[in-house]
Chain A
């Protein structure tokens, strides 16, 4: 539906093969898709299908074996334009919450003083006002992951890569954070690429769900989710919601 717009990120025939002791392991068979500005795209697929690998390739943490990744403009500096939220919160336990959020600012050598206000704003945005001076060890798992979302946003990247960020949390916390993530997405206007193995989570959050097959993975389906926004919990019980989820289940079975 957004095809008339220019994509923020295009993947063309991206492949990844690991050479292991026992031979070659094809992680990514052939992955091609576009992501458009301000879009919320989820990638679902069976475990071990290379979803994390794909995100790491986009973030420049892993080299691709072949294919192309095209980014909208020439001066797109991945380290400045990408925010990464990992499966684990990965907070530095020796830094206070606010200093954890400001870590990318220090690494990118931006002016820390000037960004402190932004860090406080982001902590408020993720619902952690008043926790700035706590240490990560004092926070629950859900709160730690909120801090890591604020950290991924602090240098104002265009693209947010999220690798099963709520996978380790309990269902209640996860569903609450889903709603908050949508609110954060709408307030910040970021493009989000969200990896999950939760089909319902993907349908609930996304404009579009990309379904990958088992290894060596290729794209089976790209499904537009045309549920109205802003979405609240009630969306989950709408018949259309179930229909989308069922379609993804089916394509996973075929794949």
Chain B
């Protein structure tokens, strides 16, 4: 058995990397005397997070919570709806024949460009934001899951067909477990796109959230909170990614050596 490296051992290089990047940033700002409304220093970005004044008409916490909830809700729905839709489409040749062309056409649309339409249809706020994020993010899950469900070795199907397995059994015992690595690589792509979708939604159809905060601060040329929001958004994206990675390892213990998905 290999010895597990300690947490500190694993985190230390990353931590050093981040600290030196921030130090370099601060140094460059000071050396070249960059104006704050162009690029703020890391110190003022950090301070903006704790300033007593409201940002974009609300406290930081309200914006953070709004974005977090929107990401969580739209990603969960993306994963669930995407998985079950893929299952439905893969159920028979007929269903595949009917729905695959529709999926292909919809997927080729520039989904972000639909955001203003959803503002018209659903109005400002949560519902529109979540809908936009789902539309943007859900195709990778659907397409990857369909690919996974259908990439089963024919011989493997013979194995349980001679036992007279039902279609449901074939899905439960063979097709779905076989598609797990595909599903997870789809989820990872979708996670990134969910964050993009939520932020775009907040740009066009919200009065809360980090996306709105960026847009609102831009009008004031108040760059420090914009940068702070950017970092918070990427932290959320990374957190979601790490959560999926954790689930992948937990659900696929046979995959310890080679992480089967194309990350």
Seen from chain A, the residues whose Cβ lies within 8 Å of a Cβ on chain B are 56, 59-61, 78-79, 82, 84, 86, 88, 90, 92-95, 103-104, 106-108, 135, 137, 155
Contacts and interface: CB of A to CB of B under 8 A. Distances in A.
Cβ-closest 3 pairs across A and B? A79-B164, A135-B254, A107-B163
12 contacts: A56-B158, A60-B164, A84-B159, A92-B174, A92-B177, A94-B252, A106-B169, A107-B163, A107-B164, A107-B173, A137-B254, A155-B163
Nearest to B158: A61
Interface in B222-256: 252-254
A207 to B, nearest CB: 24
Nearest to B172: A106
Interface string B154-177: 011011111111000100011001
Interface in B149-207: 153, 155-156, 158-165, 169, 173-174, 177-178, 180
A103 B160 contact: yes
Contacts of A59: 162
Nearest to B161: A61
B228 to A, nearest CB: 43
A86 B159 CA distance: 8
Given A93-B254, A94-B180, A135-B254, A84 B173 contact: no
Contact of B169 (A61, A88, A107): A107
Contacts of B163: 79, 104, 107-108, 155
Nearest to A62: B158
Q: Is the contact region of chain A dominated by helix, strand, or loop, or is it mixed?
A: loop
Contacts of B252: 94
Interface string B131-156: 00000000000000000000001011
Contacts, number: 56
A88 B158 CA distance: 12
Nearest to B253: A135
B158 to A, nearest CB: 5
Given A86-B158, A104-B163, 13 more contacts: A56-B158, A61-B161, A79-B164, A86-B159, A88-B155, A90-B153, A92-B156, A92-B174, A94-B180, A107-B169, A108-B163, A108-B164, A135-B254
Contact of A94 (B161, B165, B177): B177
A56 B162 CA distance: 9
Contacts of A60: 162, 164
Given A61-B161, A103-B160, A107-B160, A86 B155 contact: yes
B257 to A, nearest CB: 8
Nearest to B181: A94
Given A88-B155, A135-B254, A103 B161 contact: no
A78 B163 CA distance: 8
B86 to A, nearest CB: 18
Contacts of B156: 90, 92
Contacts of A90: 153, 155-156, 159
A61 B162 contact: yes
Contacts of B177: 92, 94-95
Nearest to B164: A79
Contacts of A78: 162, 164
Given A86-B159, A94-B180, A106 B254 contact: no
A192 B159 CA distance: 18
Contacts of B178: 94
A94 B254 contact: yes
Interface centre among A107, A135, A155 (most CB of B within 10 A): A107
Interface centre among B158, B174, B180, B253 (most CB of A within 10 A): B158
Nearest to B254: A135
B153 to A, nearest CB: 8
Contacts of B158: 56, 61, 84, 86
B161 A106 contact: no
A39 B170 CA distance: 33
A79 B159 CA distance: 11
Nearest to A106: B173
A103 B178 CA distance: 15
Interface centre among B155, B159, B164, B253 (most CB of A within 10 A): B159
A7 B254 CA distance: 44
A252 B161 CA distance: 33
Interface centre among A60, A78, A92 (most CB of B within 10 A): A92
Given A92-B174, A94-B177, A107 B165 contact: yes
B152 to A, nearest CB: 10
Interface centre among B153, B161, B180 (most CB of A within 10 A): B161
B132 to A, nearest CB: 35
Nearest to A155: B163
A103 B155 contact: no
Nearest to A60: B162
B162 A103 contact: no
